[in-house]
Amino acid sequence: MTWTAQASGTTASLRGLSVVDARVAWASGTGGTWLRTTDGGAIWQTDTVPGATALDFRDVQAFDASTAYLLSAGEGTQSRIYRTMDGGRHWTLQFTNPGPQGFFDGMAFRDRAHGIAYSDPVDGRFLLVATADGGATWTPVPPAGIPPALAGEAAFAASGTGIALSGDTVWFATGGGARARVFRSTDRGSTWTVVPVSFAAGSAAAGIFSLAFRDARDGVAVGGDYQHPAADSGNVALTRDGGMTWTPIRGARPRGYRSGAAWVPGASPALVVAVGTSGSDYSVDGGESWMPIDTVGFNSVASAGPGATWAVGERGRVAKLAVGRAARAP
């Protein structure tokens, strides 16, 4: 299993990544930058959103070669959501964070109409907004149904993958406080429960950075402490019951802080990949044990299949994963 570097045409720091299929993928990053390939990465088109060069697009959600959403992370009005429906020729500003306290960390879409985005706490509770019309309107999720945040608790915008959806269930992960936690809603965000996870915690740099669900029950959480990128204590946990409980693994861990994880659809045996600034790892036993790929640093990973797995990182780094024969679908 090896990464093959691809020429991105940019030196932006890239954290947003969305893979549609083996040919189409989108990425995003600093300086209002977005990237798109429609030929499997042989050529990446690179551009910026007009009027947005001061923004850091930490998340992107694409549906095809034409339609994609970008989310910028930042304090107050620096947190925004844009949409294109013509392959990036034109972008529409759909949402601007209205308050000075919010800091949006990521978004997830159930389908082309329904999506949800989340922010660090405002007035003691995490702020979420949802759309049911493809982003034409974003409505705040009633805060009364969201459990209060802990002192210092926040989310991380390292890869845009700290929030996940499966059917009517939504999860988002946190850190920064005394405990890392996962919030869970089974009614599309109307009501929430929260569970603590045995994970790196106790500092603003530690917690869960990414959630990846294979289905509605099996999921993996990765993270750690980004100020100690080689430390592997408390950097992975698993759920087998849809996020009601999370358990540490007993096998070999990813080798350090990991900011992104993704299952590879269609791989056999089931394959999940994790990336971070100190390297990347993979698991073929449901996340119970991990093996290193290499030590090249990435921020985010996304996959649509064994021939459609990419990772992105600093200074415009883009690479595609060559999956071994054992992990390809029969």
Residue of 109, 110, 83 lying closest to 95 (CA atoms): 83
Report the pLDDT value the prediction gives residue 325, as an integer from 0 to 100.
Answer: 59
Report the pLDDT value the prediction gives residue 330, as an integer from 0 to 100.
Answer: 36
Which two three-digit tokens encode residue 102? 């919010």
Residues 264/305, Cβ–Cβ less than 8 Å = yes
Residues 53-101 have pLDDT tens digits of 999 999 999 999 999 999 999 999 999 999 999 999 999 999 999 889 9
Q: Can you tell me whether residue 199 is helix, strand or coil?
A: coil
Dihedrals phi, psi of 320, to nearest 5 degrees: -115, 140
The pTM assigned to this predicted structure is 0.97
Residues 238/258, Cβ–Cβ less than 8 Å = no
Report the pLDDT value the prediction gives residue 99, as an integer from 0 to 100.
Answer: 87
Residues 293/1, Cβ–Cβ less than 8 Å = yes
What is the residue-wise DSSP string for 306-322? Answer: TT-EEEE-GGG-EEEEE
| CATH number of the 2-303+311-327 domain | 2.130.10.10
Among positive and negative, which fits the CA dihedral 233, 235, 239, 244?
positive
Q: Which helix (H) or strand (E) holds 165?
A: strand 163-166
Report the pLDDT value the prediction gives residue 166, as an integer from 0 to 100.
Answer: 94
Which two three-digit tokens encode residue 329? 């679908």
Residues 290/299, Cβ–Cβ less than 8 Å = no
Burial class (CB in 10 A: 0-12, 13-18, 19+), 151: exposed
**Length of the chain measured in residues:** 330
What is the residue-wise DSSP string for 275-303? Answer: EETTEEEEESSTTSS-EEEES---SEEEE
Q: How many helices (H) and strands (E) does the chain have?
A: 0, 28
For the chain, which ranges sit under pLDDT 70? 325-330
- List Cα–Cα distances, 12 to 142, 202, 248, 279, 302, in angstroms: 36, 31, 35, 19, 18
